[in-house]
Chain A
Amino acid sequence: MHIVVCIKQVPDSTQIRVHPVTNTIMRQGVPTVINPYDLFALEEALRLRDAHGGEVTVLTMGPPMAEDSLRKALGYGADRAVLLTDRYFAGSDTLATSFALSQAIAKIGETFDMPDIVFTGKQTIDGDTAQVGPGIAKRLDLLQLTYVAKIAAIDLTSREITVVRRCEGGMQKLKSRLPCLITMLEGTNEMRRGSIEDALCGARSQILKWSAADAGIEDLGMCGLRGSPTVVKRVFAPAVRAEKAAQIEVAEKTLRDLADELTAEILARQPALERELAFDGGA
């Protein structure tokens, strides 16, 4: 089985500052991490490989320094890493990003082995759009399974996969065919600690660095700023909304009573939440 995991290097949100005047994120000097949601995808891919054999290829698009994230992924136990890096990719929105990544995935398929599953995180913590995963699926004509909480079963002979996904108001159990694209939900697993061999491999492996041409991209107009119709019109800090806020009287009530009261009220307003909590508890 060949699994491709798309990851993104993002600024560590715990150490980020917002410029007081322009409201833009001040990225300079902020340490970077692998997008936390992508780690759930990577761990799930590694587990599938460990159980069923095969290889995990990690792919990212970004500046040369994104190599750090790929090395980290190799240190967790991934088998191969591809860095898609080219000045033509600068300024990509989700449309251009999903184009470039899908081309690279096709190239990875040609060069090594056609992927059975492409994983992404459910979204990134810097863009928060959740568009790139589905964008890749559409372009590669892969069946897409988004917000997956659990991979219930996989059958490589009949090429079928059964997953549990979160949807509005509940959970769905879906059966699908391979190949497919899965965007993984947070909290579904815990990233392993790579062995010393994995860590050494991560530090010493050659990272494949592909330019647009290396990835077989011919239409550079689809890449980077030129291929990105999204325009940021204005960046602003949202005004604080207090409509839904309520004053809580604490006097003469125990904390437990207060909590019960609040929980009852929240569940009355959002009935879907109760079903979901019950499901999680039972899973």
Chain B
Amino acid sequence: MIEEEFDAIVIGAGMSGNAAAYIMASQGLRVLQLERGEYPGSKNVQGAIMYANMLEKIIPDFRDDAPLERHVIEQRLWVMDDSSHTGVHYRSDDFNEAKPNRYTIIRAQFDKWFSRKVREAGATVLCETTVTELVRDGRGKVIGVRTDRAGGAIYAGVTVLAEGVSGLLGTRGGLRQMLKPEAVALAVKEMHFLPEEVIEQRFSLKGGEGCVIEAVGTISHSMAGLGFLYTNKESISLGIGCLVSDFAAMRESPYALLDAFKSHPSIRPLIAGSEVKEYAAHLIPEGGYKSIPQLFGDGWVVVGDAAQLNNAVHREGSNLAMTSGRIAAEAIVEVKNRNAPMTKRNLSLYKTLLDKSFVVKDLRKYKDMPALLHTNACNFFTTYPRLMSQAAQNFMRVDGTPKIEKEKATTAAFIKARSRLGLVSDAVRLALAWR
């Protein structure tokens, strides 16, 4: 019998890992968290928007000292063609509430803060330490880990895999399959620095208010993709991401795509005069409900991006990550409090609880969306945005053409591009996938 040094080992110090480590440590479990980066957050990349509700469930008074950039009061959703955008803007003073709902954050700073909370809760956090292998007993139960440092294995009752999207450790350990190129997006982003007052003037903001733009259309060159622009205090995060399989098939380079997005006439003036200080790239799980792997086993659970818990349609990832980390931790604490072993059967409590949460319910709702958008990328990301822009311009431009002829021309353009059957079929499939 090997003596357990820790109750739990958490692999990774991102949103899900920190949430899990924090909950377990604050419930009195002996927790060891291992992070490969120089400090927590040094390897973590996100847009980033942070959703308050999910963090409140972990650290209720996080607003007291967490490094938050701006609270979001305006959301713009744009459909872009080469020279224009058609958009929906939603801006509300209701978002200027005592406890705002969404914030922009800078992960390198936010994660440092989160990690400090984890340490204050009593967990041991080791950085610059990469887990190379899961250690199993004769029956296959995960009983600990080996790292890239010299020395022996470290043992724990349960191992929480919060290793992030690529999930190499779990894949190597046979816990799940390799990530498929069509189930993962590659996003690139830049940080554009501008004085606070310039940002506030350009986006009509004041006193910590923030604006976010998310855009689809010809910017993704007929690939399934999304562009974004988020306002921070003194910088703008700007990026674009597309499916890895699409990048490969279309032989597009992410950086060229970002350059084109930056020089789009709707985006260029928003970042004019800025100084670029940072360039980052990251993978985002996009497979949705159907690509969620086995979430628990003898002596282990998997959380966050490593478990593919990302809602691509609503661009929500970090909140699913921290919620899955929290729920996994609560399940582990429950099993521990019953003095029960960390078996597959007992840890299934994690999945039971997760299934009841918004995490799995949301992903199930959109289970058919990845397949639809992937097989129809050209229509949804190029043809329709172009048609929509033409229709809008046709509607706005006053040139002596009778309105009835304008409307006919617009309808004809849609039918010519997609045929009646195509239009109906796209509409039905989209509606079904959304349902």
Check B150–A193 contact: CB distance below 8 A: yes
Closest Cβ–Cβ distance, residue A20 to chain B (whole Å): 13
Which of A96-104, A167-175, A197-205 is found at the contact surface with chain B?
Answer: A197-205
Check B124–A197 contact: CB distance below 8 A: no
A194 adjacent to chain B (CB < 8 Å): yes
Check B152–A204 contact: CB distance below 8 A: no
CA distance A200 to B153 in the complex (A): 12
A194: B residues at CB distance < 8 A: 149
- A179-202 interface code vs B (CB 8 A; 1 in, 0 out): 000000000000001111111100
Closest Cβ–Cβ distance, residue A143 to chain B (whole Å): 35
A204: B residues at CB distance < 8 A: 124
Check B125–A196 contact: CB distance below 8 A: no
B125: A residues at CB distance < 8 A: 203
B128: A residues at CB distance < 8 A: 199
- B147-172 interface code vs A (CB 8 A; 1 in, 0 out): 10111101000000000000000000
A203: B residues at CB distance < 8 A: 124-126
Given contacts A31-B39, A193-B149, 7 further A-B contacts (CB under 8 A): A193-B150, A196-B149, A196-B151, A198-B149, A200-B32, A200-B124, A204-B124
A199: B residues at CB distance < 8 A: 126, 128-129, 149
Check B124–A196 contact: CB distance below 8 A: no
Count of inter-chain pairs, beta carbons less than 8 A:
30
A200: B residues at CB distance < 8 A: 32, 124, 126, 154
Residue ID in chain B nearest A29 by CB atoms: B109
* Residues of A contacting B: mostly: helix
Which 5 A-B pairs give the minimum distances between C-beta atoms?
A: A196-B151, A195-B151, A195-B150, A196-B149, A197-B151
- B103-140 interface code vs A (CB 8 A; 1 in, 0 out): 00000000000000000000011101100000000000
B154: A residues at CB distance < 8 A: 196, 200
B126: A residues at CB distance < 8 A: 199-200, 203
Closest Cβ–Cβ distance, residue B148 to chain A (whole Å): 8
Check A195–B124 contact: CB distance below 8 A: no
- Of listed A31, A194, A197, A199, residue having the most chain B CB within 10 A: A199
A31: B residues at CB distance < 8 A: 39
Residue ID in chain A nearest B119 by CB atoms: A203
B32: A residues at CB distance < 8 A: 200
Residue ID in chain B nearest A68 by CB atoms: B39
Interface size on A, residues (CB 8 A): 11
A137-157, CB < 8 A from B:
none
Residue ID in chain B nearest A203 by CB atoms: B124
- B37-65 interface code vs A (CB 8 A; 1 in, 0 out): 00100000000000000000000000000
B152: A residues at CB distance < 8 A: 196-197
Residue ID in chain B nearest A197 by CB atoms: B151
A55-71, CB < 8 A from B:
none
21 A-B residue pairings within 8 Å (CB atoms): A193-B149, A193-B150, A194-B149, A195-B149, A195-B150, A195-B151, A196-B129, A196-B147, A196-B149, A196-B150, A196-B152, A197-B151, A198-B149, A199-B129, A199-B149, A200-B32, A200-B126, A200-B154, A203-B124, A203-B125, A203-B126
Closest Cβ–Cβ distance, residue A42 to chain B (whole Å): 16
Closest Cβ–Cβ distance, residue B7 to chain A (whole Å): 15
Closest Cβ–Cβ distance, residue A75 to chain B (whole Å): 8
CA distance A195 to B125 in the complex (A): 15
Closest Cβ–Cβ distance, residue A120 to chain B (whole Å): 25
Closest Cβ–Cβ distance, residue B109 to chain A (whole Å): 8
A193: B residues at CB distance < 8 A: 149-150
CA distance A197 to B32 in the complex (A): 13
B124: A residues at CB distance < 8 A: 200, 203-204
Residue ID in chain A nearest B39 by CB atoms: A31
Closest Cβ–Cβ distance, residue B52 to chain A (whole Å): 24
Closest Cβ–Cβ distance, residue A137 to chain B (whole Å): 33
Closest Cβ–Cβ distance, residue A15 to chain B (whole Å): 11
Residue ID in chain B nearest A196 by CB atoms: B151
Residue ID in chain A nearest B148 by CB atoms: A193
- A209-251 interface code vs B (CB 8 A; 1 in, 0 out): 0000000000000000000000000000000000000000000
A198: B residues at CB distance < 8 A: 149, 151
CA distance A204 to B152 in the complex (A): 17
Closest Cβ–Cβ distance, residue B9 to chain A (whole Å): 12
CA distance A203 to B129 in the complex (A): 12
A196: B residues at CB distance < 8 A: 129, 147, 149-152, 154
CA distance A194 to B39 in the complex (A): 16
B303-354, CB < 8 A from A:
none
B151: A residues at CB distance < 8 A: 195-198
CA distance A195 to B154 in the complex (A): 12
Residue ID in chain A nearest B42 by CB atoms: A31
CA distance A198 to B147 in the complex (A): 13
Closest Cβ–Cβ distance, residue A69 to chain B (whole Å): 13
CA distance A193 to B32 in the complex (A): 19
Residue ID in chain B nearest A193 by CB atoms: B149
Closest Cβ–Cβ distance, residue A128 to chain B (whole Å): 25
- Of listed A195, A197, A200, A204, residue having the most chain B CB within 10 A: A200
- B226-264 interface code vs A (CB 8 A; 1 in, 0 out): 000000000000000000000000000000000000000
Closest Cβ–Cβ distance, residue A180 to chain B (whole Å): 31
Closest Cβ–Cβ distance, residue A205 to chain B (whole Å): 11
B1-59, CB < 8 A from A:
32, 39
Closest Cβ–Cβ distance, residue B121 to chain A (whole Å): 14
Closest Cβ–Cβ distance, residue B356 to chain A (whole Å): 36
Closest Cβ–Cβ distance, residue B284 to chain A (whole Å): 27
Closest Cβ–Cβ distance, residue A28 to chain B (whole Å): 12
Closest Cβ–Cβ distance, residue A170 to chain B (whole Å): 38
- A88-111 interface code vs B (CB 8 A; 1 in, 0 out): 000000000000000000000000
Closest Cβ–Cβ distance, residue A65 to chain B (whole Å): 11
- A20-60 interface code vs B (CB 8 A; 1 in, 0 out): 00000000000100000000000000000000000000000
Closest Cβ–Cβ distance, residue B434 to chain A (whole Å): 43
CA distance A212 to B329 in the complex (A): 43
Closest Cβ–Cβ distance, residue B177 to chain A (whole Å): 29
- B387-404 interface code vs A (CB 8 A; 1 in, 0 out): 000000000000000000
CA distance A200 to B126 in the complex (A): 7
CA distance A193 to B125 in the complex (A): 17
B129: A residues at CB distance < 8 A: 196, 199
Closest Cβ–Cβ distance, residue B10 to chain A (whole Å): 14
B147: A residues at CB distance < 8 A: 196
CA distance A31 to B39 in the complex (A): 10
CA distance A204 to B119 in the complex (A): 10
B198-240, CB < 8 A from A:
none
